[in-house]
């Protein structure tokens, strides 16, 4: 039985991933800051968990659902960078290091204004808080010396799933008649069904040919206006009031989030996955919504 270690398994994606790998016949070990997440309290415990494992996936980090104050941004960075460095150091101490290390990153690392969708080869000088967080996260990942462990940074877009992420929020907005375009509606949105995200992780582990950077995005980015339109059609809601930029800035401030998460565009395609032969179960938003709303 193959073994995978998941850091940050208590979150929405981590919980889904744990079930996905267990159903695929894997032994899953989880590590985190709390006792319920398994070993993480000291380096020796981390080394024991990683030694001999087939793969490790790091999803750990403070939730981005917060205001981007100085203190929160510092914690967004610290929680990602320090966890990544700790895993790298522990791998270096393993007698039998993991074969593969997948580290989460963010697709916000790319430029927002582009003439064609961002691939893994696109510039990574995107603007905004989350772009800088992603750059520092990846720097810590690739600077960790783990010569016997294959690495892949997974640049994740919006994750759609029934029980977490952005899907329940969009669903609620649409049902309340607030599912119109957000801001200008022209900003691009890239997304991935959580089942495809988990399948992509398993695929990367099994495919030695996949490069060090992998975009986790469905192959069909779309404008915010079209995204919300498809959402309304899928839920049989005819009316969706638009949300002007000022209203979004006020609303996100009230709920303790940052408007960047809504207004900043993300135009990303999964070139590396497609080139390697990966097949999406939910390649279009229509197919993803048909599953999630079923």
Query: At 285, phi and psi to the nearest 5?
Result: -65, -35
Average pLDDT over residues 66-81: 92
* pLDDT at residue 260 greater than cutoff 80: no
Q: Quote the tokens at residue 216.
A: 């986790």
Average pLDDT over residues 262-286: 94
* pLDDT at residue 154 greater than cutoff 70: yes
Predicted local distance difference test score (pLDDT) of residue 259:
72
Higher pLDDT, 175 or 88: 88
Average pLDDT over residues 47-75: 93
Predicted local distance difference test score (pLDDT) of residue 53:
97
* pLDDT at residue 108 greater than cutoff 70: yes
Strand residue runs (E) in the chain: 3-7, 27-31, 55-58, 100-106, 150-156, 158-161, 164-165, 188-189, 191-193, 213-216, 222-223
Predicted local distance difference test score (pLDDT) of residue 63:
87
Helix 12-23, helix 194-206: angle, nearest 10:
60
* pLDDT at residue 51 greater than cutoff 70: yes
Q: Which of 166, 191, 190 is nearest to 179 (CA)?
A: 166
Predicted local distance difference test score (pLDDT) of residue 33:
62
Angle at 277 between CA 202 and CA 5, to 5 degrees: 10
Q: Mean pLDDT in the chain?
A: 91
4-18, 74-88, 107-121, 254-268: range with lowest mean pLDDT = 254-268
Predicted local distance difference test score (pLDDT) of residue 41:
56
Average pLDDT over residues 42-49: 88
Sign of the alpha-carbon torsion through 26, 31, 34, 40? positive
* pLDDT tens digits along 135-144: 999 999 999 9
Q: What is the DSSP letter of 152?
A: E
Answer whether CATH 3.30.420.40 is correct for domain 3-161+191-221+267-281: no
Higher pLDDT, 244 or 207: 207
Neighbours of 185 (CB within 10 A): 16
pTM, 2 dp: 0.93
2-16, 171-185, 205-219, 266-280: range with lowest mean pLDDT = 171-185
* pLDDT at residue 40 greater than cutoff 60: no
* pLDDT at residue 194 greater than cutoff 70: yes
* Secondary structure class of 278 (helix, strand, coil): coil
CB-based burial of residue 145 (10 Å sphere; 0-12 exposed, 13-18 middle, 19+ buried)? exposed
- CA distance to 143, 147, 232, per residue, from 151 (Å): 11, 9, 39
Average pLDDT over residues 82-89: 95
Higher pLDDT, 177 or 271: 271
């Amino acid at each position: 039985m193959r073994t995978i270690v998941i850091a940050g398994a208590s979150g929405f994606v981590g919980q889904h991933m744990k079930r996905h790998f267990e159903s695929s016949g894997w032994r899953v070990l989880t590590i985190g800051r709390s006792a319920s997440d398994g070993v993480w309290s000291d380096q020796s415990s981390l080394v024991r968990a990683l030694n001999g494992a087939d793969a490790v996936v790091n999803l750990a980090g403070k939730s981005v659902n917060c205001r981007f104050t100085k203190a929160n941004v510092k914690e967004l960075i610290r929680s990602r960078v320090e966890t990544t460095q700790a895993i790298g150091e522990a791998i270096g101490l393993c007698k039998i290091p993991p074969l593969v290390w997948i580290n989460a990153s963010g697709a916000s690392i790319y430029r927002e204004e582009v003439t064609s969708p961002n691939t893994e080869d696109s510039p990574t000088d995107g603007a905004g808080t989350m772009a800088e967080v992603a750059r520092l996260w990846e720097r810590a990942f690739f600077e960790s010396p783990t010569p016997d462990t294959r690495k892949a940074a997974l640049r994740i877009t919006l994750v759609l799933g029934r029980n977490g992420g952005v899907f329940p929020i969009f669903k609620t907005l649409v049902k309340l008649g607030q599912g119109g375009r957000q801001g200008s509606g022209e900003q691009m949105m890239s997304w991935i069904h959580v089942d495809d995200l988990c399948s992509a992780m398993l695929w990367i582990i099994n495919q030695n040919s996949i490069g060090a950077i992998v975009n986790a995005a469905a192959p069909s980015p779309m404008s915010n206006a079209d995204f919300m339109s498809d959402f309304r059609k899928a839920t049989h809601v005819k009316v969706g009031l638009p949300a002007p930029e000022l209203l979004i800035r006020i609303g996100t401030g009230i709920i303790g989030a940052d408007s960047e998460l809504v207004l900043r565009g993300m135009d990303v395609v999964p070139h590396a996955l497609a080139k390697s032969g990966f097949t999406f179960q939910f390649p279009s938003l229509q197919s993803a919504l048909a599953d999630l709303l079923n």
